[in-house]
Structure 1
Amino acid sequence: MYLKKYSFYVAALLSASFFLTACEDDKVDDNSGGGTTTELPDWYYTGGELGTAFVTTQTAFEQSTPVVDADAMMTASFNRGEQFFEKPFNSNVSGTRHGLGPVYVRNSCIHCHPGYGHGKSQAAGSFNTTQIGNGYLLVVYNPATDGYVPWLAGMPQSKAIEPFKAPLDESQIMLSWHDYTDGFGNKFPDGETYQLRYPEVEIPKSAIYIANKGYDIGDYAVRLESTIGIYGTGLLDAISDEDLKAEYIQKEKDGYMTLNPSIFANGDWVKQYSNTAQGGDGTLYPLRYTYALSRGPLQDAAGANAFWNITNATRSDRTFHYLDGAGTYATYSSKDPDVQAAFPAYIATISTPEEHPEWFTDNVESNIYNYLTSKNLPVEVSDQNYIDLMVWHRGLAVPAARNVDDEEVLRGKELFSELGCTYCHKPSWTTGDDEIRDPARFFVGDKADLLPRYPHQKIWPYTDMIQHRLHMVNDIRTGWCRTTPLWGRGLHQRCTGAEYIDRLHDCRARTTLEAIMWHGTSEESDAYRTVVKFRELSKADRDAVVKFLDSI
């Protein structure tokens, strides 16, 4: 069934190619100011023929791929999924987008992904997650082990529905920015200067609900990670596992940089992703998503899980609340007199004694605990809602490159390679057969056929999909960070309305130049020698590299 449908929309795409080329030429001319372009380079099509969109306005990250556009049913599903991304969930027990809480992180996806892109850096002061654009996630971990603390959810929750209380009191969380001077004195040999800054976030113990109830939380530290752009993730999912492993093998053979030994060593995977908790069968898949490389295939990756754990709205494969792994929140909430007093009225809106007698006994403490830890909660997000969301997620296109006939951009592209930047920011991949894989076993059989696919496309994400270390001050947890795809990042301000370009994992870089220089603030950095070479360039050549990066 799917192969026939796929053949149809490929044919439709090919038949429309002459029209698209004409439109694309106009776009190139509008952005480059360099006259008429008769031939476009392959790197212009960042997402290949099946995954590139040609809009460069503020909606550039919101476009569907040609694969979605060629199928009416898929387009309708994409549009419905877009609404679930954009619109807020609410605490009602029925109706559209109901089921928020009882504790949650944000009430909508777009809060973290303004314009479908990277989160925006926030001003110093209180940590306000109600502001659309604050894509920061709090990373609370044990500094002795670098592991997440067990007494908070991995995505710490700072919101709650009455009568429950938030695990974190957001009003006490403070963000600050600090100036930084690197080993070069923030100055190039020709005298040009630049500024660097980095964020810190503080969560006092008084802001932690269970700590106020007497639980010994021990030592902890906090870092910030901002959300990344979600466009093009379906194309990254289409890279074959075999090609991904080959990249690791080649990097290990080269020996230029140490690979994360907890993920890959001696020519093979040390750690892979699997799912046994939500219907999965434990099949292993290479890690490919998030800065921490904590997720495997897209169908069970960050977006599929965030749709549940950010809002805590249940679905058929997640009929339980997203809470801390140690069970501390359920334990202390069940003993909280304020929660106990209001819980009977609350639970009466959720269910009945006939449906869930364990929530309606004479022991209110047990009732609260049983409700919070239940594995059989009512489903709040339908299967069709989830399918629509994932069609949209996998169906987002990548904006075409800009200024591809501009001489300065072409010079910057050449220098980007000569400097060695392309070793980690690998320019292109060719996708494989793009078989839909879902560790949670939801998108299998006919459901897998509902998702867009991108087989055998040459794409230009500028990432090797591997973690490296930059050894920056107040660095990311563990120090290991997956190479972020660069495609489309030059449109961040236009699409999100951000004050700055907001590059790097915590938006510390306000400009592309700052992002480059952060790569070389430590001699231990995997990119230090590359930054030294960049410093030796003339200002004109440095500007060309920046212009190239802002054009892809």
Structure 2
Amino acid sequence: MRHPACLSSLLALFLSAGGLGAQGGWDDLAQPHLDVVPRTKDEAARIAAIVRPTETFDAAEQFEVNQAGAATVRARTNADAFSQPSGNIPFERELDFKVGNGLFKKLWVSSPSSTLASDGLGPLYNARSCQRCHLKDGRGRAPEGATDPAGMFLRISVPAPSDAEMSEIEAFLLSVNDDTPRTRPDPTYGGQIQDRGVQGHPGEGEMHVTYEAREMALSGGESASLRVPSYEMADPAYGPLADDAMLSPRVAPQMIGLGLLEAVPAADILAGADPGDADGDGVSGRAQVVWSFDEGRPMLGRFGWKAGAPTIREQAASAFAGDIGISSPVFDAPAGDCTEAQAACRDAPHGDGDERGTEIDAEGLDLVTFYSRNLGVPARRDVDDPKVLRGKEVFYETGCTGCHRPKFVTSRLEDQPEQSFQLIWPYTDMLLHDMGPGLADERPEGRADGREWRTPPLWGIGLTERVSGHTQFLHDGRARSLLEAILWHGGEAEAARTRVVEMPPADRAALIRFLESL
């Protein structure tokens, strides 16, 4: 049986600066389920010219308002702004989108139950539906005062013993002298802390967070107050955590545009990697390479805060298993993340005994994947506003585009017209970057060390409050505004952060105004 607790021992694969060498070329990391039409040499040249960063800021660029190309949707003024199907979805595929939406919102129940299509919850879990974490398909929420978090939990792992049996992937890491630390799920609590349980099964514990205020002086007599979080697991129900347990908080990210990010050619992402900072700009960027359980081979990591999943389907299956305790054809352990130390959880009734085979079957998982792949990206607002244009110029001048790459062109796809050959503006390079000690969780994941995070896409970020009812940003929601999120940047982004601190207040305000227009 497979379940995501095994991920930490399988996710990493070494990539040298020169490529995969004897293990194959970069093309081996592409998404094999996408029916890609190869680009011609002339087409590749035209694309390179189109995605080259602009040098003029007196007007919006052509097509800039349509962040997702033809898949862009109208920017709505209510909380449904992130819940619309791709703007170019064919009519005959809308039913699949709506059924997938229903499964995304469905509340799962414990087994045994008369509702055979909905049983299998837990026994330990964080939420009863996907929608409970991805609020209105947007961001989760960190705890505020007495409120409980929604769509936020703690990842957990421990260092692997030096004499632990190595997987095939770890053996390869050793053979090429990769220094990625080896980790394992916590022997008692698995890969994440699940704070809820079905009747008779107590949740594993509660996440407690405390904040310490840190004042930061800005130019022009302005200042900002950052909150420094500390996390702990309180009231552990199944015994103490391991002494060397590593905890990392994670907020559920927004869902829009995932299919378009999946359709970006791997070669285009890898072309931006500069692990040795050969160009001397202070920004490196490393590719995350993860193990695909669907394909049984390494693939480029794209999804999650540390790019720990290669495809939308595997990301969805991992969330079903870890967050809800629902087995699928990808991760078929019916007890989800329950460990051998949690015998009652593993022995409890589950919902995979009928014709489904697993608690969500392949058809259901594929419908949720289709829904997730086709959540439309809202159009930009105020692209020609002078303050927005000045903010865009500041964004480029400050060096933000070193990680937040503005544009890509997706692959030509025979069977995915919604994502096929679109000029998109996600503002991410989908690479791992060292973000400094302030944001470090000190918990390795795959090739990502304890200071590295994947550059998150920025499209739609200005609609966060409208959709999710809050303005909490970063992987743990510590930033209460876009400015606070910027001020937390360190490591490779420290020089850019310093420029923001020292720039004239009017430019800083224009930068925020630009981000709010995305």
Q: 2:500 aligns with which of 518, 526, 534?
A: 534
Q: State the TM-score, normalizing by the size of structure 2.
A: 0.75
Quote the Cα distance in structure 1 between the aligned partners of 2:464 and 2:105.
18
Which residue type is aligned with residue 209 of structure 1? Y
Conserved in 1, the CA contact under 8 Å of 2:439 and 2:489? no
Quote the residue 1:162 is aligned against: 199
More helix by share: 1
Quote the residue 1:60 is aligned against: 81
Unaligned runs of 5+ in 2: 1-35, 37-58, 161-180, 444-449
Quote the Cα distance in structure 2 between the aligned partners of 1:396 and 1:71.
15
Distance 1:281 1:420, change over 3 A: closer
Distance 1:383 1:142, change over 3 A: closer
Quote the Cα distance in structure 1 between the aligned partners of 2:365 and 2:508.
45
**Within the alignment, does 1:254 sit opposite 2:279 as a pair?**
yes
Matched pairs, number = 431
**Within the alignment, does 1:79 sit opposite 2:116 as a pair?**
no
Secondary structure at the residue paired with 1:141?
strand
Distance 1:462 1:329, change over 3 A: same
Distance 1:380 1:141, change over 3 A: closer
Distance 1:317 1:189, change over 3 A: closer
Secondary structure at the residue paired with 1:526?
helix
Range moving further from structure 2, 416-425 or 152-161: 152-161
Q: 1:89 aligns with which of 90, 97, 108?
A: 108
Quote the Cα distance in structure 2 between the aligned partners of 1:422 and 1:233.
20
Conserved in 2, the CA contact under 8 Å of 1:395 and 1:452? no
Conserved in 2, the CA contact under 8 Å of 1:430 and 1:458? yes
Spell out the pairing of 1:18-417 with structure 2 (5 A cutoff).
41-68=62-89, 70-72=90-92, 74-92=93-111, 93-95=113-115, 96-124=117-145, 128=148, 134-142=150-158, 147=183, 149-151=185-187, 152-166=189-203, 168-170=204-206, 173-181=207-215, 186-204=216-234, 206-211=235-240, 217-248=242-273, 252-257=277-282, 259=284, 272-276=289-293, 280-300=294-314, 302-324=315-337, 327-330=340-343, 347=349, 378-417=357-396
Q: 2:463 aligns with which of 473, 491, 509?
A: 491
Which residue type is aligned with residue 91 of structure 1? S
TM-superposed CA distance for 1:259, in Å, is 4.5
Conserved in 1, the CA contact under 8 Å of 2:67 and 2:378? yes
Quote the Cα distance in structure 1 between the aligned partners of 2:284 and 2:145.
35
Which residue type is aligned with residue 46 of structure 1? Q
TM-superposed CA distance for 1:289, in Å, is 1.4
Query: Per-residue displacement from partner, 1:337-375 (whole Å, max 9, x unpaired)?
Result: xxxxxx8xx75x9799xx9xxxxxxxxxxxxxxxxxxxx
Quote the Cα distance in structure 2 between the aligned partners of 1:249 and 1:110.
37
Q: 1:457 aligns with which of 422, 446, 450?
A: 422
Conserved in 2, the CA contact under 8 Å of 1:273 and 1:284? yes
Conserved in 2, the CA contact under 8 Å of 1:472 and 1:518? no
TM-superposed CA distance for 1:456, in Å, is 1.4
Which residue type is aligned with residue 395 of structure 2? F
Quote the Cα distance in structure 2 between the aligned partners of 1:322 and 1:299.
20
Spell out the pairing of 1:418-433 with structure 2 (5 A cutoff).
418-433=397-412
TM-superposed CA distance for 1:322, in Å, is 4.7
Distance 1:486 1:43, change over 3 A: same
TM-superposed CA distance for 1:403, in Å, is 0.8
Quote the Cα distance in structure 1 between the aligned partners of 2:361 and 2:94.
19
Higher Rg: 1
TM-superposed CA distance for 1:46, in Å, is 0.6
Conserved in 2, the CA contact under 8 Å of 1:46 and 1:52? no
TM-superposed CA distance for 1:323, in Å, is 4.3
TM-superposed CA distance for 1:531, in Å, is 1.9
Conserved in 1, the CA contact under 8 Å of 2:157 and 2:191? no
Secondary structure at the residue paired with 1:527?
helix
Quote the residue 1:15 is aligned against: none
Conserved in 1, the CA contact under 8 Å of 2:210 and 2:230? yes
Quote the Cα distance in structure 2 between the aligned partners of 1:45 and 1:114.
24
Quote the Cα distance in structure 2 between the aligned partners of 1:318 and 1:146.
22
Quote the Cα distance in structure 1 between the aligned partners of 2:417 and 2:145.
41
Conserved in 2, the CA contact under 8 Å of 1:238 and 1:454? yes
Which residue type is aligned with residue 261 of structure 2? L
Distance 1:545 1:64, change over 3 A: same
Quote the Cα distance in structure 1 between the aligned partners of 2:125 and 2:417.
30
Query: Per-residue displacement from partner, 1:13-63 (whole Å, max 9, x unpaired)?
Result: xxxxxxxxxxxxxxxxxxxxxxxxx99842211111134444343211111
Which residue type is aligned with residue 177 of structure 1? Y
Q: State the TM-score, normalizing by the size of structure 1.
A: 0.71
Unaligned runs of 5+ in 1: 1-5, 7-37, 265-270, 335-342, 356-375, 436-448
Query: Per-residue displacement from partner, 1:451-474 (whole Å, max 9, x unpaired)?
Result: 664121110010111111222436
Q: 2:487 aligns with which of 501, 505, 517?
A: 517
Quote the Cα distance in structure 2 between the aligned partners of 1:196 and 1:120.
17
Conserved in 2, the CA contact under 8 Å of 1:240 and 1:433? no
Range moving further from structure 2, 471-480 or 290-299: 471-480
Quote the Cα distance in structure 2 between the aligned partners of 1:517 and 1:316.
42
Secondary structure at the residue paired with 1:490?
helix
Query: Per-residue displacement from partner, 1:169-213 (whole Å, max 9, x unpaired)?
Result: 33xx422122124xxxx1123101111112222114x514144xx
Conserved in 2, the CA contact under 8 Å of 1:142 and 1:148? yes
Quote the Cα distance in structure 1 between the aligned partners of 2:335 and 2:284.
32
Secondary structure at the residue paired with 1:109?
coil
Distance 1:77 1:548, change over 3 A: same
Secondary structure at the residue paired with 1:548?
helix
TM-superposed CA distance for 1:64, in Å, is 0.6
Conserved in 1, the CA contact under 8 Å of 2:317 and 2:330? no
Quote the Cα distance in structure 1 between the aligned partners of 2:190 and 2:336.
5
Conserved in 1, the CA contact under 8 Å of 2:316 and 2:365? no
Quote the Cα distance in structure 1 between the aligned partners of 2:157 and 2:386.
47
TM-superposed CA distance for 1:236, in Å, is 0.3
